[in-house]
Chains A and B, each alone.
Chain A
Amino acid sequence: MAGARKPAEPAGRVSTAKPSRVEAAAWLMFSAGGMVTALLVPVLMLLFGVLFPLGVLTPPDHAGFAALLSHQLVRILLLGLCVLALLHWAHRFRYTLFDGLQLDRTRTAINVLCYAAVLAGSVWAAVVLFA
Chain B
Amino acid sequence: MTYHQPVPLLWWTRRRSYVVFVLRELSSVAVAWFVVHFLLLVTAVHRGPGAYQEFLDWSARPLILVVNLVALAFVVLHAVTWFNLAPKALVVRVQGQQVPPRMIAAGHFGAWFVVSAIVAWVLVVML
Shortest Cβ gap from A77 to chain B (Å): 11
| Contact among A43, A91, A96 with B120 in the assembled complex (CB-CB below 8 Å) | A43
Interface of B (DSSP majority class): helix
Interface of A (DSSP majority class): helix
List A contacts of B42 (CB < 8 A): 69, 78, 128-129
Chain A interface extent, by class: 35 or more
Given known A2-B6, A42-B76, contact A49–B82 (CB-CB < 8 A): no
- Assess the A69–B45 pair: CB atoms within 8 A: yes
| Contact among B26, B38, B39, B82 with A35 in the assembled complex (CB-CB below 8 Å) | B82
A26-60 vs B: 1/0 string, CB under 8 Å?
A: 00000101110111111111111110111101111
A contact set with B: CB distance below 8 Å: 1-3, 5, 31, 33-35, 37-50, 52-55, 57-66, 68-69, 78, 82, 85-86, 88-89, 91-93, 95-96, 100-102, 121, 124-125, 128-129, 131
